[in-house]
């Protein structure tokens, strides 16, 4: 039976960076953010539900979601965000289950579920161990602002829409401290792969 590992953290804490390092080592990643983009494509059921709930003004000229516009709505307003989550999350869970089953059928010994909201969405029952990618608040804010070219307010509104990252530290089975260089994170990751005897 495959070993299912949860990978989480906070926005811009380095989950995708760690996922790429795991992929380089042959591990299969099932990425919630990728699933969340897939299930809102035109023609998918979540797409029409989102248009119905938020109106056509959250669409671009080509009919796809205006992610910036929808983001600015939902990260300023908890109720709007819960409305979007209620539409997207069930479809994301279904898509991730499909991808996980495909990986298991292909004989993978480990499957890593990269889920930003693993704790917020109470999904720890889906995994056997949880890795939290940790950065301090200052580093998180700086990297998020730099990556997305957000103002401080835009970045803070996204960060505050999640459980505080330091609280996730207490819940983790393993923590990767990503405040340093990527090489330093990579070293911690290789030690963890060894400790947990993870095989791709």
Ligand X SMILES: Nc1ncnc2c1ncn2[C@@H]1O[C@H](COP(=O)(O)OP(=O)(O)OP(=O)(O)O)[C@@H](O)[C@H]1O
Phi, psi of 194 (to 5 degrees): -70, -50
CB of 85 to ligand X, least distance (A): 15
Choices 10-18, 37-45, 88-96, 101-109; region in contact with ligand X by CB under 6 A: 10-18
- For ligand X, the closer CB: 33 or 49: 33
Q: Which does 143 bind (CB under 5 to 8 A by kind): ligand COD, ligand X, none?
A: ligand X
Enumerate residues 110-149 that contact ligand COD by CB under 6 A.
116-117
Tokens linked to 40: 């809102």
Tokens linked to 161: 């829409």
Enumerate residues 27-66 that contact ligand COD by CB under 6 A.
32-33, 36
- Cβ-based burial of 120 (10 A; exposed 0-12, middle 13-18, buried ≥19): middle
Kindly state whether residue 141 participates in binding ligand X, applying the rule CB under 6 A: no
CA distance 71 to 97: 25
> Are 35 and 142 contacting, i.e. CB atoms less than 8 angstroms apart?
no
Choices 13-21, 41-49, 75-83, 168-176; region in contact with ligand X by CB under 6 A: 13-21
116, 118, 119, 130: which one binds ligand X (CB under 6 A): 116
Q: With the CA atoms of 147, 185, 166 and 5 taken in that order, what torsion angle do they form, in degrees rounded to the nearest 10?
A: 100
3, 4, 33, 83: which one binds ligand X (CB under 6 A): 33
On whether 95 is known to bind a ligand per the annotation, the reply is: no
């Amino acid at each position: 039976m495959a070993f299912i590992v949860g990978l989480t953290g906070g926005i811009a804490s380095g989950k995708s960076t760690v996922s790429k390092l795991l992929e380089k080592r042959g591990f299969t990643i099932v990425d919630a953010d990728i699933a969340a983009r897939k299930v809102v494509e035109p023609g998918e059921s979540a797409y029409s539900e989102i248009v119905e709930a938020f109106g056509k003004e959250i669409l671009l000229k080509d009919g796809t979601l205006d992610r910036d516009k929808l983001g600015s709505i939902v990260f300023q307003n908890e109720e709007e965000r819960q409305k979007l989550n209620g539409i997207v999350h069930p479809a994301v869970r279904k898509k991730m289950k499909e991808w996980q089953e495909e990986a298991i059928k292909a004989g993978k010994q480990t499957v890593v579920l990269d889920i930003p909201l693993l704790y917020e969405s109470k999904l720890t029952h889906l995994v056997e161990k949880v890795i939290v990618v940790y950065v301090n608040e200052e580093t998180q804010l700086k990297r998020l602002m730099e990556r997305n070219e957000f103002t401080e307010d835009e970045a803070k509104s996204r960060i505050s829409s999640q459980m505080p990252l330091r609280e996730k530290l207490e819940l983790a089975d393993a923590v990767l401290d990503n405040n340093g260089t990527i090489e330093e994170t990579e070293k911690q990751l290789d030690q963890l792969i060894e400790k947990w005897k993870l095989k791709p």
